[in-house]
Amino acid sequence: MGARCLMAASVFAILIAAGCQRNRQTAALSHQADLQSLRNAELAEDQAWSSRDLEKVMSFCADDAVVMYPNTPAIVGKDAIRAYEKQFFADPSFTIQNQLTDLDVAQSGELGYTLGAQTYTTTDPKTGKVVTDRGKWLTVRKKQADGSWKIIRDTASSDLPSPVGGKQH
């Protein structure tokens, strides 16, 4: 009787170990799929910016998204973000180039971030001169029920010296 119990316990332990290994492999594959999906969302959003399609850009934002750009208060909500971004799309000099440098997705698969470097050109509203700025950005996205990724928080900062001098925070 003891040998039979030992044999059953051994088989059970092997099955548990195999199941755990399969779960780790499935989780790794799921994580890789989430990373690729997040990368694809970032690239699609970049394409929308390049094609100057404001509504397509806005389709990547959650309704309650918050963006934080240099020298301006936080912009809260999709409608406020659309109103703010509209000025750039109206500027014939506006261009933006993003370079994705890093991304990751939480183990839960619910949140992910992308970060990178950017160069953008705009017309300075005060001087009328075309200016180019370089900086970096960090975007946090939340995975939606349909598998898409929506921006919930977005921030950018300039690499150029502060126009008013002093220390930047």
For the stretch 69-100, pLDDT in tens is: 988 999 999 999 999 999 999 999 999 999 99
β-strand partners of 73? none
Domain presence at residue 36: yes
The pTM for the full model equals 0.78
Domain interval for residue 115? 2-158
CATH number, residue 145: 3.10.450.50
Q: Is residue 166 part of a domain?
A: no
What pLDDT, on a 0 to 100 scale, did the predictor assign at position 100? 96
**Beta 149-158 vs 61-68: how paired, if at all?**
parallel
Question: How many folded domains does the chain comprise?
Answer: 1
Query: Given the structure tokens 């208060």, which residue do they identify?
Result: 73
Write down the H helix ranges in 51-144.
54-58, 78-90
